[in-house]
Structure 1
């Protein structure tokens, strides 16, 4: 049985910790940087001694960095998985100076190691490690932590467990973290003030209503997610310990945490929001054009220009539009495209009447997918996810769904904005064989350095998840033309991002232009469209990774089918992608082309073993 490790997709607990510390996405590396660090093992001509020395130096840096991070950010390993400890990380400027110094030195020592002296696996390790650390350094130097939230993700949310912990020690750590919230919030507010002073803030246009996500935490009774968490301590923790933990937790929440949230809410409404910048483009920030290019490199892991991405988006939007018209004709609709979108957004038969109905429909799709997985993958994980509603405190501004190791969350807020014909694609993307399955396989992967288990590259992870939406067409998941149109609408949504994100941050588009562009091309609700465009405004570059990662995997599959002919089997092809774990896109391309070359050289049986 493989060693149990932490999942590669943003784990809920660790993500909350890193976002609270101001750490944004992990992957910034140019194609030249990544390619230079992944020279194939076949070209290595060095002797064993230098190779052993290089490996030892590389893994010593991995170990040193891991130990430093454990001390610096306050998390610990429990049952083979990283969990937050009893404290929250410091976000003071001097803490960031300390982190900048550490990562700068690590990168300098890393660059002294010749990739050609390493094994293939260590070349991948080096590429992943360098990309994550380089992105971290760039964000720290640019002081992105002076705007420590965006329209989608907040440093004040995510402390409560999504599912109750089963062990006393987890609740003890939780109570200790809660007691640290007042200090942590004070530091975040001080950083936000520094950001305002130099014109670095979250755009005001993307923040409408986000202050309301704080309100639930200011209450002293039911409905406060932190108080409710202590009412859900499971019976696996016996009495009287359960009552003791509940009383200790409530005391900390009412005495320390609720006042801290009230102060934060007052600051947001009275001080921060009125002073945030009225511009929306990343290029309007200090050194903004360079910052946007850096964000593109971080999330896409390719050195693409905004113009190149914008033009790719326009071409793909045109292609998908033609496919949508074909599906509309199959549905027997005789009106215009705009009339079809209006019909889909308004006909009651496309919408659940209760939250349970929506969750039940998602569960049905997930179970249907289970029956097809044996035709899609050769290796299936043992770990299982559940399906849950998005928490009430964040649901009004949250996306339609999100998946992780333990659960898939579907938004049941405002049911008339949650069409059922979108659910099959959403389940494939977020649950299986998308994010939840991907995270489970990473959890059960063979032993690798810890950072490989905790790294997440949007181009890889989101590219795979979007690819699985298309894969659903090969799994007979879409039962009606409307569900197929929902899938195409999701594909259009991601292609349109290429146009809107670059339009806003490089071409001067307004928020209204972005909203109207998406509304005229995709069958999404108005609420989802506005939330999405606000996300692109406040999180430059991140949304670009989905479609570019998806096209990369589709192109690699087409190449494998062309090169291998009737020897192509999608199961080992998919296994090879997922066995890599999260990697920059150039590494994915190189490793999958090596997989194709092995398949061409071997027998079909060897191809199946090549994953």
Structure 2
């Protein structure tokens, strides 16, 4: 689809107005969205996390969907908005009908993390900023209580998470609430960015409310270890029906899980063969394990300490922005700033947060370094910087925020799926290989290591949740159904990561069905779309134009993306 027929600044349409009202509704129902968007007001509050809050969301989604159905699109931009928002709302209502919100607990992206994670995005430059933090700390106990009431309703209705997730999240709660945990550290030495001291009253309120937040997380831990753990199920698998919904939710597309599982197995084998070929370039006749040993021992590829890691990430990111912005992409000035950060948590994740809608908060790449990890190797992480930064998440999501003249707030900042965003980021890694940025055999082996991991988790995720027969790996023979230990063995045989990373990753797949495969499946769909456009356009195909048109759409589900780019 071309946007040539869309004016640089378009008049707000009835569909745009519905989408804008939906964003306002989300902010009203859950003020965490205000922080995400960089909006003022209510940034010291939480939404209603109880079953009543879910009922209010469902009522709002239902009325918005009905309004969209009754409103005609007036141009191509409208059609994409309408297509995507209708699909998203309908999926949310299906999710509610299956009561899956009642078992919303996992090790990475459930309210147990989200209620804390929002503090990472809150500004700390002024006394007013710290007053907002104090207010949110004071409101957190009620949000925890509401979340507990939702999970308790799940117990009553028999819709509960797996015991493995409950135990792991209880441990996270204990760490957050500990004397050296997040809440204690947050208020240990608070000060505005100007360096001025906070007022005595505000300091007292911060510390009092931080203590209350710690108690709230200890209360959540006690509930998890007591009531929920006793009621939780042993089986990690969610089953085919629930899995299909989870998969659609994370892709914005419908795929055949059985065909995707078979494709994942083939991808793992293909990545392994590519790695073996690269290993021979690092040392003649070397195995992949030997090549990794050599790379890890190379002093030129080592970084000592999180601050050295942050500085290296920043330098590599700045170079990518400068060079790609001069050659392969049109990168607006407002998104040329990308801050590389060490996260205040220690869960092992690497993630990106988009700029606020006014760019007052820039895009940021975060690394949550596990406790005790002090040495890092650049060969593993070069491709990660491209994935999270440019041309990955930052270019994609920052460009969407930049396109204010064409895209409404929903399309700029809230729409889309992990299949769209993470699929693009994996596509971006391969693109950097195409463009010659991974010519160093070590850096290319690192990219392949990451791609092989993403392929392996397609197999693990679908295999466990659909109860498939285990295909075997180097350390465990084929046979029997997938389970945690087989998933751990398969992951260990296919990636080169510390055991703590692997265990966290496997826990994540088992507790967040459909999300992990969305990366590699999303990449597959992006690559298929590019190939289809190239086939259709023939000699006139321009990959830079393809990228520009795709990024101009903002966040969308992958079915919407396909319809838009191939219309």
Q: Please give the TM-score of this superposition, normalised by the length of structure 2.
A: 0.84
| 1:376–1:571 CA contact under 8 A, matched in 2 | yes
CA distance in 2, matches of 1:148, 1:278: 16
Query: Aligned pairs, how many?
Result: 531
Alpha-carbon distance, 1:560 to partner: 4.1
- Which residue matches 1:280? 236
The verdict on how the C-alpha distance between 1:208 and 1:471 changes in structure 2, with shifts beyond 3 A counting, is: farther
Are residue 570 (structure 1) and residue 521 (structure 2) matched? Answer: no
Residue by residue, what CA displacement relative to the aligned partner does 1:296-326 show, whole Å, maximum 9, x if unpaired? 1111222212212111212222222222221
Are residue 103 (structure 1) and residue 103 (structure 2) matched? Answer: no
Q: 1:264 aligns with which of 206, 220, 228?
A: 220
CA distance in 2, matches of 1:432, 1:403: 13
| 2:458–2:517 CA contact under 8 A, matched in 1 | yes
The verdict on how the C-alpha distance between 1:232 and 1:440 changes in structure 2, with shifts beyond 3 A counting, is: farther
- Which residue matches 1:319? 270
CA distance in 2, matches of 1:182, 1:99: 21
- Which residue matches 1:292? 243
| 1:478–1:484 CA contact under 8 A, matched in 2 | yes
- Which residue matches 2:442? 482
- Which residue matches 1:398? 348
CA distance in 2, matches of 1:79, 1:589: 28
Residue by residue, what CA displacement relative to the aligned partner does 1:355-375 show, whole Å, maximum 9, x if unpaired? 233323323322331342122
Q: 1:385 aligns with which of 324, 338, 349?
A: 338
The verdict on how the C-alpha distance between 1:230 and 1:131 changes in structure 2, with shifts beyond 3 A counting, is: farther
Are residue 330 (structure 1) and residue 289 (structure 2) matched? Answer: no
Are residue 228 (structure 1) and residue 186 (structure 2) matched? Answer: yes
Q: 1:372 aligns with which of 310, 323, 331?
A: 323
The verdict on how the C-alpha distance between 1:126 and 1:355 changes in structure 2, with shifts beyond 3 A counting, is: same
CA distance in 1, matches of 2:123, 2:24: 29
1:159-170 maps to which residues of 2 (within 5 A)?
A: 159-162=118-121, 164-170=123-129
| 2:166–2:225 CA contact under 8 A, matched in 1 | no
Alpha-carbon distance, 1:163 to partner: 6.5
Residue by residue, what CA displacement relative to the aligned partner does 1:522-571 show, whole Å, maximum 9, x if unpaired? 33333222211211100011112111221222223334445556654433
The verdict on how the C-alpha distance between 1:572 and 1:244 changes in structure 2, with shifts beyond 3 A counting, is: farther
CA distance in 2, matches of 1:378, 1:487: 25
Alpha-carbon distance, 1:265 to partner: 2.6
Alpha-carbon distance, 1:120 to partner: 0.7
The verdict on how the C-alpha distance between 1:247 and 1:55 changes in structure 2, with shifts beyond 3 A counting, is: same
- Which residue matches 1:203? 162
The verdict on how the C-alpha distance between 1:514 and 1:381 changes in structure 2, with shifts beyond 3 A counting, is: farther
What root-mean-square deviation, in Å, do the aligned CA atoms of Structure 1 and Structure 2 show?
3.2
Are residue 514 (structure 1) and residue 514 (structure 2) matched? Answer: no
The verdict on how the C-alpha distance between 1:381 and 1:299 changes in structure 2, with shifts beyond 3 A counting, is: farther
Q: Please give the TM-score of this superposition, normalised by the length of structure 1.
A: 0.78
CA distance in 1, matches of 2:226, 2:152: 13
- Which residue matches 1:34? none
1:523-542 maps to which residues of 2 (within 5 A)?
A: 523-542=496-515
CA distance in 2, matches of 1:207, 1:341: 39
Alpha-carbon distance, 1:122 to partner: 0.4
3-state SS of the aligned residue for 1:232? coil
Q: 1:494 aligns with which of 434, 437, 454?
A: 454
The verdict on how the C-alpha distance between 1:223 and 1:277 changes in structure 2, with shifts beyond 3 A counting, is: closer
CA distance in 1, matches of 2:535, 2:253: 25
Tell which deviates more after alignment, 465-474 or 348-357: 348-357
